[in-house]
Amino acid sequence: NAGVMQNPRHLVRRRGQEARLRCSPMKGHSHVYWYRQLPEEGLKFMVYLQKENIIDESGMPKERFSAEFPKEGPSILRIQQVVRGDSAAYFCASSPRRSETEAFFGQGTRLTVV
Amino acid sequence: GENVEQHPSTLSVQEGDSAVIKCTYSDSASNYFPWYKQELGKGPQLIIDIRSNVGEKKDQRIAVTLNKTAKHFSLHITETQPEDSAVYFCAATYNNNDMRFGAGTRLTVKP
């Protein structure tokens, strides 16, 4: 049973381009969370999704950021018109169900905006 | 929503000593408290967790305690080893399984 898979591991984008980050949850997991981590800082919650539904997006910036978790395929975190401040490590985690259950993290995607 | 505070931000101990990291949370409805270890360049890994119906849990050199009345929980690592050096995060979840993290503690174990 493969763990949470994120790709790409490293992504370089020029200012103004779009970044697409993918997350394939563990087999049997239908809940996905995205977090952002700046260097030397903690994990900031961005969004929590269940298959085809956004449950909580209170941590998502109002503009340029969007997330989806379609019925088939990976969860996608999309950042439009990237700026230097978007440079960070983006982690996703998955869990099999709601409430009182372990969430497992992927290795992260390190986004660098040049 | 949930607010999780974690202390200290950095901790340095001598190999063989114990390390304690403390967290507080704000939402009394929180019911699940995991701890993660993050090594450089890697994703966080779950090392131990505790649920709200339990006061203490132990796994070899690692233990976690929970005080629901005071809304705080702690990670205890005994007989520390250099490979325990990492950043440790506490987290709290509430009813809909949203998970909020503390700011992290950078633990250094000196040989």
Q: Does A98 touch chain B (CB under 8 A)?
A: yes
Q: Identify the pLDDT of residue B95.
A: 59
Which of B46, B93, B100 is opposite residue A104, by nearest beta carbon?
B46
Tell me the pLDDT tens digit for each residue of B1-59.
678 999 999 999 999 999 999 999 998 888 889 999 999 889 999 999 998 888 999 99
Q: Does A103 touch chain B (CB under 8 A)?
A: yes
Q: Identify the pLDDT of residue A99.
A: 56
Considering only A2-16, A92-106, B38-52, which range has the smallest mean pLDDT?
A92-106
Q: Identify the pLDDT of residue B3.
A: 86
Q: Identify the pLDDT of residue A61.
A: 94
Q: In chain B, which residues have their Cβ closer than 8 Å to the Cβ of A42? A: 6, 89, 101-104
A42 with B89: Cβ contact below 8 A:
yes
Q: Identify the pLDDT of residue A19.
A: 98
Tell me the pLDDT tens digit for each residue of A39-81.
878 899 899 999 889 988 989 999 999 999 999 999 999 999 9
Assess contact for B71 and B28: CB atoms under 8 A: yes
Q: In chain B, which residues have their Cβ closer than 8 Å to the Cβ of A108? A: 42-43
Asked if residue A83 has pLDDT above 90, the reply is yes
Residue in chain A closest to B97 (alpha carbons) equals A99
A95 with B97: Cβ contact below 8 A:
yes
Q: Identify the pLDDT of residue A40.
A: 77
Q: Does B36 touch chain A (CB under 8 A)?
A: yes
Assess contact for A90 and A107: CB atoms under 8 A: no
Q: Which long-range contacts (CB under 8 A, 24 or more apart) does B43-46 make?
A: B43/A4, B43/A6, B43/A91, B43/A105, B43/A106, B43/A107, B43/A108, B44/A43, B44/A91, B44/A93, B44/A105, B44/B89, B45/A105, B46/A102, B46/A103, B46/A104
b/e A4-13 (16+ beta carbons within 10 angstroms → b): bebeeeebeb
Rounded Cα distance between A10 and A86, Å, is 14
